[in-house]
Amino acid sequence: MSAEAHGATLVAEQFDDFEQQKQADTFGMWLFLVTEVLFFGGLFCGYCLYRNVYPEAWAAGSHLLKVTYGAFYTALLICSSLTMALGVRAAMLRLKTSLTVYLILTWIMGAAFVYIKLRYEWYGDFLEGLVPGFNWAPHGENLEMINHFHALLPHVSLFFIFYFCMTGLHALHMVVGVGLLTTLLIFTQQGKNTQGNYNWVEIVGLYWHFVDIVWIFLFPLLYLIGGRYV
């Protein structure tokens, strides 16, 4: 069955065929993701620089974060990437019900990530006085560790500025991703993603996996550095 048989709804008029359209769509998304790499890259660069300038403060700051949260988010995002990839597969096979189920699962995991981060992790950080500028007076259950690192505290606050900016920018991307998934769900219900043109699902998938990759780097850089064995 040729792509042309589906008429103008499948292939936009500026493209010769579906394959060309698919390549243009995905290539455009890849280009956007490259600009995103450099967008996050500025923060990674600053992180890298100041981590080398204040290594002890970075290790101390990392110790004040809870690895359990970081590992949980990593697992959650990997699960959501799996359901997203399976969603793209379902769209390729024109399975409307499967696609809807996978998109809803991905949506739930993405929303859960943002909710848990804001409601529990960041709120907990705020209560422990770990938010520079708003409530910077580290205390709470890590008091012993904080006293141990006391001389480093001004530079630890710099670590926390990077922590909140990097995870904040990442969380913002998750919010955008959840919005994109909502749009996809509406289009899927209208039957637009399962009539042969699965490109929207594919490129939202690319975005979703990219945001997952950012977290794959944030997790070791923020939560695991500095030796948890101390």
Residues that bind another protein (CB under 8 A): 1, 3, 6, 10, 18, 23, 26-27, 30-31, 33-34, 37-38, 41-42, 44-45, 48-49, 52-53, 67, 71, 74-75, 78-79, 81-82, 84-86, 89, 92-94, 196, 202, 205-206, 209-210, 212-213, 216-217, 219-221, 224-225, 227-229
| Assigned token pair, 134 | 């708003």
CA 101 to chain centre: 21
Closer CB to another protein, 21 or 152, in the complex: 21
Q: How far is CA 10 from CA 187, 193, 201, in A?
A: 14, 10, 14
Rounded Cα gap, residues 225 and 230, in angstroms:
11
Backbone angles phi, psi at 128, to 5 degrees: -85, 5
Asked if residues 102 and 212 have their Cβ atoms less than 8 Å apart, the reply is no
Asked if residues 160 and 61 have their Cβ atoms less than 8 Å apart, the reply is yes
Closer CB to another protein, 87 or 138, in the complex: 87
Closer CB to another protein, 81 or 142, in the complex: 81
- The minimum distance between CB 172 and another protein, in angstroms, equals 20
Closer CB to another protein, 80 or 130, in the complex: 80
